[in-house]
Structure 1
Amino acid sequence: MSVTVLKFGGSSFLDPEDYRRVAEHLAERLAAGENKIVAVVSAMSGITANLKAVMLGINKQASPSNLDAALATGEMLSTYLLEAAVNRLGISVLSLNGYSLGIRTNSDFGRASIECVDPGPIKAALQKHDVVVAAGAQAVDQSGSLTFLGRNSSDLTAVIIASMLEEQTCEIYSDVPGVYTADPYLVPEAQLIPEIAYATIAQMSRHGAKVLHHRAVEYAEKHALTVVCKSLTSDGAVTGTIVTGHGDAHSVTVAQDAAVIWCASLAERDNILALLNRHDMSVICVEDKSRAGICITNDIDFAMRLAKVANTRSVSIESKTAVTELVAPVLHVHLEGDYERAIFLARQIHERMYPGSIGEPFGSRRAIPRSPFNSLLVRANNAPRNSQ
């Protein structure tokens, strides 16, 4: 059975109408002769942050397992909306969530790691239906509890499913068609990279690039899976970057709200560093005068929880923007307290890398796109109540 695996990120769903747009794309693919489709979806843009705010507003000490289960409902809602949109077109469709995807993890709630997979449930669903909609970023541990794979990790779910089904490629859709030498919304001169190696994009992702999740890239490399980065436009699907074992490019990344843990001593920093490395966390060692620190750019909540386990006497925790120059095999990290200054620095670095370059007209950086419908289920505690 030939299966096409596609993933649609939160930026694909800024409006309920977007679910119809994606459903129509799936219908066009089937009409063009594709056999079966698995569509992996993220939560509607902004819902995950909203859910987290409400949960912590109720209980700041909510257990990690409780948080995982709550946050996963954002992706679940997205699957049900896309299932409804596909069904409206007369296509046989079924949605599956973390409980029924056949993906098992450890119990590291907040950023669980894959332990084993069973393609049986998805294959059984595909035997009966033309389209299966899968909730991204979630699985279950060995006790059956729902686990979260980390922020922006629906890419990982899609790659795992493609590998489970023994497919050779996985398509990832976002608001930009591919991987650029910098965030094109931050650096208008950023250049599209047509082909890039797994290791290169994984390093970019670990230091702030948002197009692909680094664990998805590393899983794809391990299973010899080609990742195709695309964007769904009014003119159809546009392919921007193919991720394989080849291709390199200099780049600059910007990680806003990176966490810097300043430690009382080098020994304490090494203690935290060893623990984070055991969990394959993205960390950067930094120093400031007499202080030693660690900069964390991904899965910050999970990393901070691990740091507490290390039981160190950290001096302070600061929020910084990390600007990273990636010129393989060397990288240079600059920490900036002012975000606008960080953007200016990123543009300067990119100009040195690619003097006189002209990028696509993405324009100035907008805020992270959030759907005006992201309070479909919940609203933050400080949102005004409508009168009844």
Structure 2
Amino acid sequence: MNATVLKFGGSSFRHTEDYHRVAGHIADRLATGEGKIVAVVSAMSGITDNLKEVMLNVNKKASPSNVDAALATGEMISACCLEAAISRLRIPVMSLNGYSLGIRTNSDFGRASIESVDPKQIMAALLEHDVIVAAGAQAIDQSGRLTFLGRNSSDLTAIVIASMLGEHACEIYSDVPGVYTADPYLVPGAQLIPELAYQTILQMSLHGAKVLHHRGVHYAEKHRVSIICKSLTSDGAITGTIVSGHGNARSVTVARDSPVFSCASLEECDSLCALLARHDINVLRLEDSHGVRVCIVSDIDFAQRLVSLADIGPVFIGLSNVVTELDSSGLLVHLVGDYDGAISLVRQIHEQMYPAVVSVPFGASV
């Protein structure tokens, strides 16, 4: 079926009027000849954190399945609001959530993994409607319980749906038009990268770059779905980066507040690293005069729960900030305790990488 898959992140919905802005963009796309559109949405900015706080205030030991069901409502609200905004324009539209998306996962609540997909329900809905609004970051397990795919994982939902429908591209909208050589909000001279290979952006995402979710990138590479990074502005959509099989660039990333655990022995460290590796969680193993330590860089909430449930005894010793230099020769990682110090280091490294770049504040006109 000919359908265009668009994903709108939480930064697209900072205010209720933003739903009308996105609805207008979708209406314009249909008016220019798009056949059908599937719009995947994230929760409004800040909602997921608020929902988690409410749940833990009610019960600090709420079951993981209970928490997943609560967190999923953030994306459901966004889907309902965007459906309402689109229907106001008299466009045939329907919203779907995790119960009806046709995506099945395991029961690793907090960051479930996809096991199977079935496009029949989405395709049937598209036959009757011009637009389907899909709640991102959620699915159901084999028992029919809602599962959460992880923080910021609506990218993964959109890419899975594109693959399900036989589409070879997926458009991802965020508050920046694409992937930069560093976070443009932190590094004024960061450069937009026009094209990137899957493996390059995968490493960037695993080490703190926030534009694309690393599991979404991995799924896109496996199923050959190109990712088109865009930003929706008052002047229309801006395309910044295309992620496919080609492209490379030097970059520097920072992962803030990464938890660090101390291990009593090399064997304990091996067991912890093996546990996290089985769940595709990015970790740094550190052996120096301070002893044997493990720093968790990705999927932090889920990883911390795995550690707490494991029959091993690492001790949490604090948070650090991981600064990573990436280029064709590999990775160079720095741990910096102070966040301001980490940002200073990121800027120094970027200036060394791109010394000829004239620094222009992100968002400023030139």
TM-score between both structures, scaled by the size of structure 2: 0.97
Mapped to 1, the partners of 2:335 and 2:173 lie a distance apart of 30
Partner amino acid, structure 1, of 2:193: I
CA contact (8 A) 1:281 1:303 kept: yes
Match in the other structure for 2:179: 179
Partner amino acid, structure 2, of 1:17: E
Aligned length: 364
Runs of at least 5 residues in structure 1 that lack an aligned partner in the other structure = 365-388
Alignment of 1:1-388 (within 5 A): 1-358=1-358, 360-362=360-362
Mapped to 2, the partners of 1:269 and 1:67 lie a distance apart of 29
CA contact (8 A) 1:191 1:359 kept: no
SS at the partner of 1:307?
Answer: helix
**1:267: how far off?**
1.1
Mapped to 2, the partners of 1:289 and 1:96 lie a distance apart of 53
CA contact (8 A) 1:113 1:149 kept: yes
Partner amino acid, structure 1, of 2:161: I
Q: What is the CA deviation profile of residues 165-205 of structure 1, one whole-angstrom value per residue up to 9, with x for unaligned ones?
A: 00010000000000000000011111100000000000000
TM-score between both structures, scaled by the size of structure 1: 0.92
Q: Which moved more, 1:310-319 or 1:323-332?
A: 310-319
Mapped to 2, the partners of 1:71 and 1:288 lie a distance apart of 39
| CA separation of 1:66 and 1:329: change in aligned 2, threshold 3 A | farther
**1:357: how far off?**
1.2
Partner amino acid, structure 2, of 1:101: L
SS at the partner of 2:163?
Answer: helix
Q: How well do the aligned residues superpose, as a CA RMSD in angstroms? A: 1.2
Partner amino acid, structure 2, of 1:221: E
**1:315: how far off?**
3.3
SS at the partner of 2:317?
Answer: strand
SS at the partner of 2:183?
Answer: coil
Q: Stretches of 4+ moved more than 6 A in 1?
A: none
Partner amino acid, structure 2, of 1:342: A
Mapped to 1, the partners of 2:68 and 2:267 lie a distance apart of 33
Q: Which moved more, 1:253-262 or 1:82-91?
A: 253-262
**1:360: how far off?**
4.9
SS at the partner of 1:4?
Answer: strand
SS at the partner of 1:112?
Answer: coil
Q: What is the CA deviation profile of residues 65-109 of structure 1, one whole-angstrom value per residue up to 9, with x for unaligned ones?
A: 011000000000000000000000000000000000000000000
**Identity rate of aligned residues, in percent?**
70
Runs of at least 5 residues in structure 2 that lack an aligned partner in the other structure = none
The one of the two structures with greater contact order (alpha-carbon pairs below 8 A, sep at least 6) is 1
Partner amino acid, structure 2, of 1:65: S
Q: What is the CA deviation profile of residues 31-85 of structure 1, one whole-angstrom value per residue up to 9, with x for unaligned ones?
A: 0000100000000000000000110111111111011000000000000000000
Q: Which moved more, 1:74-83 or 1:258-267?
A: 258-267
Partner amino acid, structure 2, of 1:178: G
